[in-house]
Amino acid sequence: MARIAKIEHFLVPPRWLFVRVECDDGSVGWGEASLEGHAEAVAGALDAARDRLIGHDADRIEDAWQMLYRLGFYRGGPVLMSAISGIDMALWDLRGRALGVPVHDLLGGRVRDGIRVYAWIGGDRPADVAAAALARKAQGFDAIKMNGSEEMEWLASPGAVDAAVERLALVRETGMDVGIDFHGRVHKPVARRLVEALAPLGPLFVEEVLLGEHPEALAQIAAQSTVPLAMGERLYSRWDFKPFFERALIDVAQPDLAHAGGISEGRRIAAMAEAYDVALAPHCPLGPLALAACFQIAATTPNFVIQEISLGIHYNQPDADLLTYLTNPEVLTVTAGRVDVPRGPGLGVTVDEARVRDAARDPHRWRNPVWRGSDGSLREW
């Protein structure tokens, strides 16, 4: 019986927080607790978690999860849940490596051999966005996600809606499936009109057309539109998702496994979504360990549909930052819009520990940029 002897965390560029758990027998597992712009707060939560878990049986993953979630009295939220996520991933990685099997074998075995993936594209002008979509297509993708709008006023002009439609139309002409992400920038007075205008172009989904703070407005859109509505990166547990499932407000659940309790809670959210006939498309614009955890869930989840992956735009492989900390980056290769289900033990990726430790000597202090509209007022990031 291996017991937890050490829990370390590493703030590494560009904005990630890795977690390393070591047992008294020398075995090691890795996870990711990245919370963009709030890494120092999560590091503090990991320090508190360490006090609970040193000496704990590393095989009792669920008991560790429950201890961290319940015994702090104050539950949930992005900081605590991100800390739990990193430790949970590391414990699953440990268990898989100890048994010589991938985590998805421990979760009941895979239900698919390939994982459909998409990557984000940017660009200020419609033509730039279309060019970026073609570059992704050349990389092997058949689906992308794009910003719906850089700026959208509370009561947007018809021209702003027309511009969003134009951007989507040009990208759809490339033959790619397209998800539209509004980052919660849109407000109720224009959201219904916007979704209605985009519907004829057949978006794969519309993400965060409204923030989850407005379930009553989401209910109106869900009742009036045939476009699949997606959200979930700012929901951190099955209890956070519960009202959205119960009220049939979303069609695609997007938990971020680095924020939403790791593999253990991610699996529960996926099962709950399946019970409400909601698809699963985990959010993950983060590092290789969070992505590897998503792959394990994707492999075992019947209602999984597509996985976000952060890839460089200029070459047919994950970006340099994603590759920096792995010794087996080939497991992230995209072919015909898919990534093969990883077959290696644990999370299926191997961390270059020396590089992680070297990078963490100069911890990042990443903060999201401040965006302002043309009138100088603050905009959602």
Catalytic option among 9, 104, 183, 259: 183
Domain count of the fold of the chain:
2
374 within a domain of the structure (yes/no): no
Which of 144-148, 210-214, 254-258 has the highest mean predicted lDDT (pLDDT)? 254-258
Residue 361 belongs to a domain: no
Is 104 labeled as catalytic in the residue annotation? no
Q: Is 283 a catalytic residue?
A: yes
Among residues 122, 145, 84, the alpha carbon closest in space to that of 282 is found at 145
Sign of the Cα torsion 121, 336, 287, 105 reads positive
Give the pLDDT confidence of 19-34 residue by residue, as tens digits: 999 999 999 999 999 9
d(CA 199, CA 221) in angstroms, rounded, equals: 12
* Domain end marker among 76, 101, 126: 101
Both 58 and 191 in a single domain? no
State whether 77 and 207 are in the same domain. no
Amino acid at 351: V
Per-residue model confidence (pLDDT) at position 155? 61
Mean pLDDT over 174-195 rounds to 91
Name the residue with higher pLDDT: 322 or 245: 245
Higher pLDDT, 294 or 160: 294
Asked if residue 282 belongs to a domain, the reply is yes
When comparing pLDDT for 167 and 90, which is higher?
Answer: 90
Residue 304 confidence (pLDDT) above 70:
yes
Question: Is 228 inside any structural domain?
Answer: yes
pLDDT-derived band at 314 (thresholds 50, 70, 90) equals very low
Same domain for 65 and 173? no
Q: Which domain holds residue 90?
A: 4-101
Q: With 50 as the cut, is the pLDDT of residue 317 above it?
A: no
Q: Widest CA span of the chain, in angstroms?
A: 65
**Does the pLDDT of residue 153 top 80, yes or no?**
no
Q: pLDDT at position 150, please?
A: 65
CATH code: domain of residue 161: 3.20.20.120
Q: Please, are residues 121 and 297 in contact by the beta-carbon 8 Å criterion? A: no
Least confident stretch, 57-61, 210-214, 228-232, 322-326: 322-326
Residue 68 lies in a domain: yes
Cβ-contact 238, 266 below 8 angstroms:
no
**Does residue 320 have a pLDDT over 70?**
no
Judge whether 359 lies within some domain: no
Cis geometry, peptide bond prior to residue 14 (ω within 30 degrees of 0): yes
Alpha helices in the chain (DSSP H): 39-53, 61-70, 78-99, 103-106, 126-139, 158-172, 188-198, 215-224, 238-246, 262-275, 288-300, 320-324, 353-359
- End position of a domain, from candidates 47, 69, 101: 101
Q: What integer pLDDT is reported at residue 152 of this predicted model? A: 66
Residue 116 belongs to some domain of the structure: yes
Residue 362 token pair: 């100069």
Catalytically annotated residue among 38, 283, 314, 364 = 283
Same domain as 153, residue 218: yes
Task: Work out the pLDDT band at 316, boundaries 50, 70, 90.
Answer: very low
pLDDT, tens only, 80-123:
999 999 999 999 999 999 999 999 999 999 999 999 999 999 87
Instruction: Identify whether residues 122 and 178 lie together within a single domain.
Output: yes
pLDDT of residue 52: 95
Tell me, yes or no, whether 29 and 118 share the same domain: no
* Percent of the chain clearing pLDDT 90 (strictly above): 80
Q: Within a domain: residue 294?
A: yes
CATH number, domain with residue 59: 3.30.390.10
Can you give the pLDDT at residue 312?
63
The residue-averaged pLDDT of 171-182 equals: 95
pTM of the model: 0.95
